[in-house]
Structure formats: C-alpha cells, structure tokens
Amino acid sequence: MNRVIFLIDMQTFYASVEKADFPEFRDRPLIVAGDPKQRSGIVLAACPIAKQFGVLTAEPLGQALLKCPQAVIRLPRMQHYIDISTQVTRFLNQFTDLVEPYSIDEQFIDVTNSQNIFGSPWTIARKIQHCMQEHFGIYARIGIGPNKVLAKMACDHFGKKNKTGIFELNRKNIERYLWPLPIGELFGVGHRMEQHFIGMGIRRIGHLAQYPVHLLRKRWGVNGELLWRTAHGLDHAPVSPGTFTEQKAIGHHMTLPYDYPDLKDIRVILLELSEEVAYRARTKHYMGNVVSVGISGTFERHTGFHRQIKLPFATNFGMDIYHATNLLFTESWDGLPVRAAAVTLGDLQPASANYQLDLFAHHEEKEKLSSAVDTIYRKYGKTAIFRGTSLMPSSQLRARASKIGGHFK
C-alpha cells in the first residue's frame, strides 16, 4: 500500500488563536506583533483581512500600520500558542498515532493505515479541516502526498492558494504541477543555491529533474543528488512522532534592543546566553563539548560570523560555556556593533553517561553549584539569583525572564 502523508498547516496561527479567543475581532484586521518599543516590533502574524491591505509577516509594525491603521494589535502570547499547538497534536492522534510536529503551526501525519476507519485521504482531510475549525477556530490547509516532501510542497504551493485548502501532489502529477514552478520554490533550495541553478540554466524545477544527476553530485555531493531526488518527489523519511525527543544541540538566540558597540556590554549578553543554554541543558539532562557562537552585525552592514570550538570535556556549566564563547568572540570580532548573538552547546550526550573528566575542571563543585542554582530558579524564577554583571544597563536578563523565545508569554 502506498503511503499517504498529510502536512497540516494552521493558517496565520497566532492571529487565528487570537481571533478564536476574542470573537469580537473576528471581522476586523488583526496583527500579532512584538513590542514596538523594542527591535522586536515586527509583524509575527497577520490575519487574512490584514493581508488584504498589504500587511506582510516580518515587516516593521509601523510600516504595517501605515497600510492598515485600523488593525487590532495583539502582543504575542507564546506559551498559549505552544499549548494550543500541543492540543492540536493530541487532536490529530485521534486519526493516527503517527503525528510529527514540524513547527508550532505545521504537523505531518501518516494516515496510510487510517483509511479503513476514516475513509479516503480527501475524506480524512476534509474531516480534519472541519473539526479543527469547530474545536480550535483555526482554518487548516492540508497537503497530501506519498511522502513528507511532496505533502509539504502540495500544501505550500497549492493547498494554501486554492479554495478548498487541500491539494494532493504525487508522482503522477508532479510534471504537470510541480515541474513548471521556479527552481526557488523547490523544498531545500535557498537563495544562494537558486542563483547557482539559474546560472547553470536551471530556472524551473523540471529543469533540475531532467539534469544529469551525476553532474549535480560531482558539484555539490550528496546535497546535489538530494535536491534532484526532491524534484522527482522521492523521499523515504518516515513520519516520526519522536523526532524532537533527542536533541543534537541546545542554543539560544537574542536580538538586542539596540546595536551594542562596546565589548563589555556584549560580554554581558554572551554570559547571559551561556547561562541560559547551560540551564536548558541541565533541565534536559544533557552535557555537550562543542560550543559555538553566532554574531550578527547591524541591519545596514550585514556583518557577522559563526565559530565553534570543541572542549576537552563535556559540560553543562554556564561559565565553561561562557569562557569558550568569549574566546571565540574575542578572536573573531571585527569591532563593529552587534545587533544579535547566539550561543549553542552541541555534540550532546546524556548527563548520566560516562564522559571524559578533566582533572582541573572541578566537576563535582560545578555540579553542586548548578544544582543549587536550578533549585532556586524552579522555585523563585530566573531573576531570583543572577551574576552581578546582569545589573548593568546592557543586561537583558530581566527583560527576557517573562518571555518565551524573545516574545511575551
């Protein structure tokens, strides 16, 4: 039996949740946006009515209000959105136990073995659409395919644009529907790769599908062949409910409220990021020995860098991560203002596993200190105890303590 995979996309998810919770806004243009006083004052979601006025996701809120001054503005409630997304996952489990969250507003499900109970793929899709509208107030667009990559492209390129909100893409119709699309529309092709392809005369997905695969492999290795296979609708990846149960890295990114030009202020941010990453690692019972730092310059200059270093021992202690981060930053910083920073701990392993000890790392002392700090965090919050540098004006600790992913809970 051929597999039947759905990609379920929740239309303008944040805005839809807000309208479901506040029915009085149902017929009004609504925008969910970050704090306009901070750099995060950008459009995170705009309902279909707001989009009719030209409002775009990720544009500055001020620019959006020039297009649609009558719009209702809602601050994001990230914890609530996460809770609703989790409820949607449980709802989809009524149709199949093979549900894989792809993002907060997208989920893959495998309904291959559900057809004997619920009917044909289109019958199941329409039922899911109806039930999600009824129970959550959310309109779902659904892509149907024999694998995840075709289901994803069916939803993105066709399901979101037709009246039914449902589209099926399979190996019988990809030449008609998928191949005529511009090469940049192929899943996995970014802007830089798109320019490479166009320079080679590969302007449409069909051109790539008909290009000699051995030449693609010669130029780009495995990735070249992977994109060729994607153009042919080939994908054997299963829908995996446990995709996010094992992590390979834990990171934290912060866009700053203004450009930081001074080293001492940037180091405050790097320390706070390091402590946050360490706390998350301990919470999930991981240790890691690869530390990486990513820096972005100002919006005008688009400068920055990404560097990593492998430690001689595994750790989940904040200062270990910070010392590595600070070393990487100091060696690579060009002295230009910083607008965003990220710190990541990689090469994760269970904290209970056997690992190489450093005789001079004082592991037991760090473990006891971290355990005490975590207990305080859990009981009183992350602002109950912090390092003295977080009293500096450049600190973002208290501003972000009440947020999730940089947005209001």
| Residue pLDDT, tens place only, 332-347 | 998 999 988 999 998 8
Smallest CA-to-CA distance from 322 within 274, 278, 386 is with 274
Third-level CATH fold of 249-408: Dna Ligase; domain 1 (3.30.1490)
- Across the range 388-407, mean pLDDT stands at 66
In this prediction, residue 301 has a pLDDT band, given cuts at 50, 70 and 90, of low
Which amino acid, 259?
Answer: D
Average pLDDT, the chain: 87
Smallest CA-to-CA distance from 19 within 139, 127, 121, 113 is with 139
Query: Which architecture does CATH list for 175-231?
Result: Orthogonal Bundle (1.10)
| All structural domains of the chain with their residue ranges | 1-170, 175-231, 249-408
Residue 387 confidence (pLDDT) above 80: no
pLDDT attached to residue 339: 86
Instruction: Confirm or deny that 9 is annotated as ligand binding.
Output: yes
- Across the range 10-27, mean pLDDT stands at 95
pLDDT attached to residue 359: 47
Smallest CA-to-CA distance from 338 within 276, 280, 281, 396 is with 396
* pLDDT tens figures, 366-383: 777 777 776 777 777 666
- Across the range 355-365, mean pLDDT stands at 56
Instruction: Confirm or deny that 105 is annotated as ligand binding.
Output: yes
Pair of tokens at residue 55: 């409002």
* pLDDT tens figures, 99-137: 999 988 999 999 999 999 999 999 999 999 999 999 999
Share of the chain above pLDDT 90, in %: 60
Pair of tokens at residue 113: 């073995």
* pLDDT tens figures, 241-259: 866 555 678 888 888 878 8
Share of the chain above pLDDT 70, in %: 87
* pLDDT tens figures, 182-234: 999 999 998 889 999 999 999 999 999 999 999 999 999 999 999 999 999 99
Residue 134 is a catalytic residue: no
Out of 106, 168, 275, 276, the active site residue is 106
* pLDDT tens figures, 137-170: 999 999 999 999 999 999 999 999 999 999 999 9
pLDDT attached to residue 4: 97
Cα–Cα distance for residue pair 124/127, rounded to 1 Å = 5
Residue 362 confidence (pLDDT) above 70: no
Query: Which architecture does CATH list for 1-170?
Result: 2-Layer Sandwich (3.30)
pLDDT attached to residue 247: 63
Do 370 and 278 contact (CB within 8 A), yes or no?
Answer: yes
1-170 matches 249-408 in fold: no
How much of the chain is in helix, strand and coil states, percent to nearest 5?
45, 20, 35
pLDDT attached to residue 400: 65
